[in-house]
Copies of this chain bind each other. A is one copy, B any other.
Amino acid sequence: MATAASAPRVAVGQGASMCARARSRGRRVRWIRARGIDFTDAGCFELAYAPVGESLIPSGPWKTIEGGVCAARGFKVAGYKAGLRAKGTRADCALIVADDDATCAGIFTTNVMCAAPVTFCKKQLAGKTTARALLINAGQANAATGDAGAADARETSKALSEALGVAEEDILLMSTGVIGKRIKMDKFLPGIPILAANVENSTAAAMAAATAICTTDLVRKTAAIEVDIGGVAVRVGGMAKGSGMIHPNMATMLGCVTCDASVAPDVWRTITSRAGAASFNQISVDGDTSTNDSLVTFASGKAGNATITDVNSPEGKLLEQALTAMCRGLAKAIAWDGEGATCLIECNVSGATDDEDARVIARSVICSSLAKAAIFGHDPNWGRLACAAGYAAPVKNRFDQKDLKLTLGPIQLMDKGQPLDFDAVAASRYLKETTGVHGTVVVDISVGNGPGKGQAWGCDLSYDYVKINAEYTT
């Protein structure tokens, strides 16, 4: 890889705690501070790494490890402050470079108003199955920017191609920030060779990159796991960002997963698609499907395993499980960090006709503004949960309300469609205690005897959500 020798050497963790200085989000911030959680050099809450990323990864035949997107062998990254944000001193761009061609898959927003980088990536990945680099900027989403925005994406790609010495068709782009604003190219372009010159494979670099891509996020989302596949230790690392405008449809806000498995391109695309459907597509903060949702997954092949060519082989299934676990951990971290949230809400639906039906019902519950506000207010208003399950549509097979069973945390509220006498004080206490530690409020719903199961994750609706979005300056 070519590096710009004249570029100034910068700390990979450059950028600072804009999170803390520029914002105050009430209870959540106070909760974080009360626990004495400090900021890393990388400029965001230390909290980000441990409980938000790793702790939300479902358990399975893997262990969590350090390193974020750098945990997987074959990748180098950097974060840098080019000066794209309206204010603050935090880094605003990140670069991930694969040492060699990496198998690559991507899923993107279904929004008609998709951003220029989304159109760019879809075109790139339509032509080939590998990629070398992913460049991400925060500050401006480069969405609804017309022809000028498309030209900016091409110019960015050209600049990175020259800085890295890789072909333009090997480059992918993501943007996040204000819609309708062009990227500040006068500041971004000079930053690109600096980023390219400073990539490295280290935990610090991975943390810096994960911090640089945040916007209204209070914590960064990053994690890594290691799984034994056929006697070979395969590593999966990931990072994501997102806090508002979260209601992904076929992708997430911004997510990037690195893996060092050797895997056939068609297998990798299939399991990426399935993992995205079971994770990022099952979260919502505010029901708004972004213009920029993008998930890109790389597999470098550096782990040394025998190439996985069958998605249904034991190795293929295990890789899919591991990728799904990573995506779920990141997706849940986004919902946990939903704008203004005081908790993560997890809805588990069982007994549906099939998994898709169960997922639709689960999504409907975690999207309900009324249920979300009730949980924020520690009000066990279970009628709103039942109501949201009931209007879920389009479900292939509508359930019968006589089959509904509903449990909030440890407390059963409804069975066979009949409301139960329950201890409302205890139910309220469960909500108060769970939100008090920014924990997970669990809603279990059974809608019948079918085999379908599904999960979805959201967050509560607080005053701070309104405050953040009423005051987010265009």
A interface vs B, CB < 8 Å?
109-114, 141, 143-148, 178-181, 244-245, 247, 249, 286-291, 367-370, 373-374, 376-377, 379-384, 386-393, 398-402, 404, 414, 416-419, 424, 461-463, 465-474
Contacts and interface: CB of A to CB of B under 8 A. Distances in A.
5 contacts: A111-B387, A112-B398, A113-B404, A288-B368, A466-B466
Contacts of A388: 288
A111 to B, nearest CB: 4
Contact of A391 (B110, B148, B382, B393): B110
Nearest to A179: B383
B288 A469 contact: no
A468 B373 CA distance: 9
Contact of A369 (B180, B286, B399, B419): B286
Contacts of A465: 369, 373, 466
A384 B288 contact: yes
B147 A418 contact: yes
A459 B389 CA distance: 24
For A113, A178, A244, A416, the residue with the greatest tally of chain B CB atoms inside 10 Å of its CB is A113
Given A113-B390, A466-B462, A141 B418 contact: no
A470 B111 contact: no
A472 B145 contact: no
Nearest to A372: B469
Contacts of A387: 111, 113, 143-144, 179, 245, 288-291
A414 B143 CA distance: 13
A19 to B, nearest CB: 20
For this chain, the copies found in one complex come to 2
Contacts of A141: 383
Given A244-B370, A287-B367, A179 B470 contact: no
A144 B401 contact: yes
Nearest 5 pairs of A and B residues by beta carbon: A179-B383, A377-B470, A113-B390, A373-B469, A180-B383
Main secondary structure of the interface of A (DSSP, over half): loop
Nearest to A400: B112
A464 to B, nearest CB: 9
A398 to B, nearest CB: 5
Contact of A390 (B111, B247, B386, B468): B111
B383 A144 contact: yes
Contacts of A398: 112
Contact of A370 (B245, B370, B380, B393): B245
Given A146-B419, A180-B383, A474-B424, A466 B112 contact: no
For A141, A245, A367, A414, the residue with the greatest tally of chain B CB atoms inside 10 Å of its CB is A245
Contacts of A249: 391, 393
Nearest to A182: B419
A138 to B, nearest CB: 15
A414 B377 CA distance: 40
A461 B472 contact: no
Contacts of A181: 383
Contacts of A244: 370
Contacts of A474: 374, 379-383, 424
B466 A390 contact: no
Nearest to A391: B289
A177 B465 CA distance: 26
A109 B388 CA distance: 13
A141 B417 CA distance: 15
A36 B148 CA distance: 52
B146 A466 contact: no
Contacts of A113: 386-387, 389-391, 401, 404
Given A147-B418, A245-B370, A291-B390, 14 more contacts: A109-B391, A110-B391, A113-B404, A146-B402, A146-B417, A178-B381, A179-B383, A287-B367, A287-B369, A288-B387, A374-B470, A374-B472, A377-B469, A379-B474
